[in-house]
Amino acid sequence: MIALIQRVRRASVDVDGECIATIGTGILALIGVAAGDDAAQADRLLERVLTYRIFPDEEGRMNRDLRSTGGGLLLVPQFTLAADTRKGTRPGFSTAAAPDLARRLFEHLQQQAGLRHPRVACGRFGADMQVSLVNDGPVTFLLDTARAPD
């Protein structure tokens, strides 16, 4: 599984002109599900998102994680993160999970996040979403369970 995480001052998701999710300071995580991903990888990805130290400490160094700041977490499904972009000028999606599997794993991630962090908001799987954010820094990292060391 893949998460493109961004430290934000605020972020929101609109669907059909209605705001369905919003956070203040925290992390916006765009989530991609690849073929072969499973619940264990979703759990591992969530742990990394919650504990990745991207917030400044008293000295301005990135030493604090989302849990220690109490910030919000906005999870947004984005299947294009799992695209194969290695050649040509058009992405291929054979590396992305089938929609049913991707939905189940995103819902699993969403449920586990709600159990482990007090401030979680989510985009809507399969919807045409408009995501707004104020990136803080900017600070952006790509987390990928397929490329992460054990």
Q: Is residue 129 one of the residues assigned to a domain?
A: yes
Three-state SS at 28: strand
Which residues does the annotation mark as catalytic? 78-80
Q: Is residue 111 one of the residues assigned to a domain?
A: yes
Q: Is residue 104 one of the residues assigned to a domain?
A: yes
Query: Residue 88 belongs to what domain range?
Result: 2-142
Q: Is residue 150 one of the residues assigned to a domain?
A: no
CATH of the domain at 72: 3.50.80.10
d(CA 106, CA 122): 10
pTM: 0.94
d(CA 35, CA 88): 21
Contact 51, 25 (CB under 8 A): no
For 100-144, write each residue's pLDDT tens digit.
Answer: 999 999 999 999 999 999 999 999 999 999 999 999 999 999 999
Domain tally, the chain: 1
For 19-63, write each residue's pLDDT tens digit.
Answer: 999 999 999 999 999 999 999 999 999 999 999 999 999 999 999
Residues 6 or more apart whose Cβ sits within 8 Å of residue 80 = 32, 91
d(CA 72, CA 51): 13
